Amino acid sequence: MKAFILDAYGRGAGLRLADHPDPHPGPRDVLVRIHAAGLNPLDSKIRDGAFKPILPYRPPLILGHDLAGVVEAVGADVSRFRPGDAVFGRPRDGRIGTLAERLAVDEDDLALMPSGLAMTEAAGLPLVGLTAWQALVERADLQPGQKVLIHAGSGGFGSVAIQLARHLGATVATTVGGAHADMARRLGADRVVDYRTQRFETVLSDYDLVVCGQDGDTLSRSLKVLRPGGLLISLAGPPTAAFGKAHGLNWAMQQVLRLLSLGIRRKARARGVRYEFLFMRADGRQLTKIASLIAAHAIRPVTDRIFPFEETNEALAYLDSGRAKGKVVVALQPGP
């Protein structure tokens, strides 16, 4: 099969298109012929080497965390899928590699694709949809009438999280560049802050939850938006020792993460709020719930650009530019 391979970590490093052995599915695996693959900032961060200490990857490797495609074969113990099924999913950590023509995926990481979606639309949903679900539903238990600030509302994650939060009955604020304000409102945002001309912490207050995919100054300023007892969930870090323990990192690395997150955790405690780091996990059952929301038109995918497979490096460069509104997707097969 054809695959794009990362030969060595490096900021902005190009991927090499090459022949690669076909995967061999195990008893619980589903062999998927990939029709489209969504790109995420996580792909860029792994490529750049940012997650070397905490993720089990060593080049050469195939990147890619989102897929939509058709089942070609199933392992002996697979019960939920059969050849010919249209599926989408986010393969679990340690088994990524959707920038390839085929991938063997644990059946627990897949869901049947929502009807009415093109493969290129479905491919952009798994990682951001699961991140939104795990932040808003699993971690925060967001309730009707509560207030949530979702940063970067025009991006891949933000465009889905706004819609899910609105479906849950929350009052939703978001930060975007002024040119994307109308888009954010169409997605369901009640308050839209232009981060280029306004300081969000001066116009928003008493929020129950902030979900932030940025670090540094934006993360610290987000604490000021929260009511006492509120929760700040970071998608970009710094990771906490609790994250390290949950991911099986050794004691020394857990202490490193404890130190890395000490500053933001202290600031949170001083304001009477909580700080948590979220690194989403693969979960086909949750993805099935998201698929039902898509089928009910409560969530719609937002796709910025679709690149042909041969232009995967150009697609990553476009993602890195920060200009994308919604998801960037690579199409491996022609057609919808």
Using one digit for the tens of pLDDT, what is the confidence trace for 39-74? 999 999 999 998 888 887 999 999 999 999 999 999
Judge if 103 and 211 occupy the same domain: no
Is residue 149 in some structural domain? yes
Reply yes or no on whether the pLDDT at 316 is more than 70: yes
Q: What are 33's two structure tokens?
A: 């012929």
Q: Measured in Å, how far apart are the chain's first and last C-alpha atoms?
A: 21
Model confidence band, residue 215 (pLDDT cutoffs 50, 70, 90)? confident
Judge if 250 and 222 occupy the same domain: yes
Is residue 290 in some structural domain? no
Is residue 187 in some structural domain? yes
Judge if 118 and 136 occupy the same domain: no
- Mean pLDDT, residues 255-269: 94
Is residue 45 in some structural domain? yes
Cβ atoms within 10 Å of 21's Cβ, excluding its own: 7
Judge if 117 and 202 occupy the same domain: no
Task: Kindly list the distances between the CA atom of residue 102 and the CA atoms of 68, 69, 295, 303, in Å, as whole numbers in the listed order.
Answer: 11, 9, 26, 23
Reply yes or no on whether the pLDDT at 295 is more than 90: yes
Is residue 286 in some structural domain? no
Which has the closest alpha carbon to 231: 267, 172, 275? 275
CATH of the domain at 321: 3.90.180.10
- Strand locations in 177-268, DSSP E? 191-194, 207-212, 226-234
- Mean pLDDT, residues 121-128: 98
Judge if 261 and 131 occupy the same domain: yes
Is residue 296 in some structural domain? no
Which has the closest alpha carbon to 311: 293, 329, 323? 329
DSSP per-residue codes, 182-208: HHHHHHT-SEEEETTT--HHHH--SEE
Judge if 9 and 113 occupy the same domain: yes
Average pLDDT, the chain: 95
- Mean pLDDT, residues 163-167: 98
Judge if 164 and 207 occupy the same domain: yes
Q: Classify residue 56 as exposed, middle or buried by CB count within 10 Å of its CB (0-12, 13-18, 19+).
A: exposed
Judge if 263 and 134 occupy the same domain: yes
Cβ atoms within 10 Å of 321's Cβ, excluding its own: 9
> In terms of residue numbers, what domain contains 226?
127-277
Judge if 268 and 213 occupy the same domain: yes
DSSP per-residue codes, 12-70: TPPPEEEE-PPP---TTEEEEEEEEEEE-HHHHHHHHTTTTTTS---SSEE----EEEE
Judge if 19 and 84 occupy the same domain: yes
Count the domains in the chain: 2
pLDDT at 323: 87
Judge if 150 and 197 occupy the same domain: yes
Is residue 108 in some structural domain? yes
- Mean pLDDT, residues 268-279: 97
Reply yes or no on whether the pLDDT at 10 is more than 80: yes
- Strand, coil or helix: 148: strand
- Answer yes or no: are the C-beta atoms of 133 and 289 closer than 8 Å: yes
Model confidence band, residue 89 (pLDDT cutoffs 50, 70, 90)? very high
Judge if 143 and 258 occupy the same domain: yes
List 177's β-bridge partners, or say none: none
CATH of the domain at 168: 3.40.50.720
- Percent of the chain surpassing pLDDT 90: 90
Q: For the whole model, what pTM was predicted?
A: 0.96
Is residue 287 in some structural domain? no
- Strand, coil or helix: 115: coil
Instruction: For 216-260, write each residue's pLDDT tens digit.
Output: 899 999 999 999 999 999 999 899 999 989 888 899 989 999 999
Reply yes or no on whether the pLDDT at 336 is more than 80: no
